[in-house]
Amino acid sequence: MGQCIVEPPISWLMTAALSRPKLISLAAGFTDNASLPVTETRTLLDSILHSNKTGQPALQYGSTAGDSKLRQLTAEHLQKLDGKRGKNYATGRTLITGGSQQLLYMTLEALCDTGDIILVEDPTYFVFLSILQSRSLRARGVRLERDGLDLAHLEKVLERLKKSGQLRRVKALYLVSYFQNPTGVTTSFKKKSAALKLLKKFERAAGHPIYLLEDAAYRELRFTGQDVPSALAAGGAAERVIYTGTYTKPFATGARVGFGILPEPLFTAVKRIKGNHDFGTSNLLQQLVARALATEIYDRHVVRLQKRYAQKARVMKSALEKHFPAAIEWWESEGGLYFWARLPKEISAGVKSKVFSTALKNDVLYVPGELCYADDPSRAKPDNEMRISFGSASEENIRKGIARLGKVLEKFV
């Protein structure tokens, strides 16, 4: 067998969520059902398929890098978000993919050989860890503070890798920079810029570029505060920042259209890999998203969505205040889909813990925080944390689910 294949945690979490009708899942990273743009998608597809002139191209193969209009609109969209222009945002650097997940996978394929090291936030997105594992790549965790990456720790990790002669295996720092999955933490622009400088500093010893791979999947799901520019807007970003984003979270989830902005030679390498994977994402879905962006449908939907998630986050916050024991610390976020809770150190909330099994028995599911920690020999995995999502559950189920979970926790804390 060509890969180190283990069951990825997301599979059984998703299956559990889909197969137990009474279960309230605060685990799934699904988006909110009620706010999915059903009518909007119908209108857009109807207008595309109304005539052969636009219908036939949408139902034909396209090119590997993606629909040129969508690539352009995507590049412009990012320029607008960042309030900046320039080559960092060129259409020619923009690649359309089957969700941003596919871009993460292909970027690692392009960048890494077996045994290479990717620096990740500690904790981080667990499917990313699953990719690393399957490709026999190693992860090293960088501590996360309430306001993002711990820069002092990043430097320490890099120094340690340099000393042990492993810096030449380090290919990138992976950053889920907005309302991070799983913690909800956002890394400030200042920190992103500083991280980029730090990586640059160690490049000479590494003997090759060390990229900043910024995963901005949740960026547009902000419901309070101001947007933060991406790392693309930082000094030195042009040749070192890979930005991945998606239309899956802020718009039509089931369409699974994502994108990436990549500097050369990575853009070409990843495009060629895409040629081998599937030689291009569904043209029909690309036309759908392009038309949503070109009209005001996309922007209007994002505003509605932000309000909706703001409301659901408020509901979860009140429920947490009401039902969670005081000994449990939790972080709220300014956007995204998640709250992050931390039990006292001595109490495990991991996959094999009593807390987790008792919660399941009481028909409530969360993501055990330990799944979000890389296998890193330099520290033990914390197992006293949980990711709690308000994404897919209804307001009523958020209240009920947190009440159930609170009751379970009362027994252990």
> Binding to its own copies (CB under 8 A): which residues in 49-88?
49-50, 52, 55-64
Determine if 279 is a binding residue for its own copies (CB under 8 A): yes
End-to-end CA distance of the chain: 45
Determine if 231 is a binding residue for its own copies (CB under 8 A): no
Nearer to its own copies among residue 28 and residue 402 (C-beta): 28
In angstroms, what is the minimal distance from the CB of 176 to its own copies? 16
Residue 337 C-beta-side C-alpha neighbours within 13 Å? 23
Binders in 120-179 for its own copies, by CB under 8 A: 127, 130-131, 134
Determine if 10 is a binding residue for its own copies (CB under 8 A): yes
Determine if 289 is a binding residue for its own copies (CB under 8 A): no
Residue 391-410 contact track with its own copies, rule CB under 8 A, x = bound:
-x------------------
Distance CA 275, CA 261 (A): 17
Total of residues contacting its own copies (CB under 8 A): 76
Task: Match 């029909």 to its residue by tokens.
Answer: 284
How many CB atoms are closer than 10 A to CB 403? 16
Q: Which of 183, 187, 282, 397 binds its own copies (CB under 8 A)?
A: 282
**Which amino acid, one-letter code, is at 2?**
G
Determine if 6 is a binding residue for its own copies (CB under 8 A): yes
CA distances from 210 to 53, 54, 155, 268 (A): 45, 42, 13, 18
Task: Match 């197969």 to its residue by tokens.
Answer: 19
Q: Which stretch binds its own copies (CB under 8 A): 35-43, 225-233, 350-358, 366-374?
A: 35-43
**70-96 b/e (C-beta count within 10 Å ≥ 16 → b):** bbbbbbebbbebbebeeebbbbebbbb
Determine if 276 is a binding residue for its own copies (CB under 8 A): yes
Determine if 242 is a binding residue for its own copies (CB under 8 A): no
- Beta-carbon contacts of residue 80 (< 8 Å; ≥ 6 apart): none
Nearer to its own copies among residue 100 and residue 187 (C-beta): 100
| Residue 388, strand partner residues | 339
In angstroms, what is the minimal distance from the CB of 43 to its own copies? 9
Determine if 375 is a binding residue for its own copies (CB under 8 A): no
Determine if 101 is a binding residue for its own copies (CB under 8 A): yes
In angstroms, what is the minimal distance from the CB of 188 to its own copies? 30
Task: Match 């930082």 to its residue by tokens.
Answer: 234
Nearer to its own copies among residue 31 and residue 177 (C-beta): 31
Nearer to its own copies among residue 52 and residue 226 (C-beta): 52
Distance CA 89, CA 344 (A): 45
CA distances from 111 to 25, 105, 114 (A): 36, 10, 10
**Which amino acid, one-letter code, is at 254?**
G
Residue 310: which of 51, 32, 89 has the closest Cα? 32
Determine if 306 is a binding residue for its own copies (CB under 8 A): no
Determine if 272 is a binding residue for its own copies (CB under 8 A): yes
| Residue 176, strand partner residues | 215
Nearer to its own copies among residue 4 and residue 303 (C-beta): 4
In angstroms, what is the minimal distance from the CB of 4 to its own copies? 10
Distance CA 37, CA 304 (A): 10
Nearer to its own copies among residue 7 and residue 296 (C-beta): 7
Q: Which stretch binds its own copies (CB under 8 A): 13-21, 77-85, 345-353, 378-386?
A: 13-21
Determine if 111 is a binding residue for its own copies (CB under 8 A): yes
Determine if 284 is a binding residue for its own copies (CB under 8 A): yes
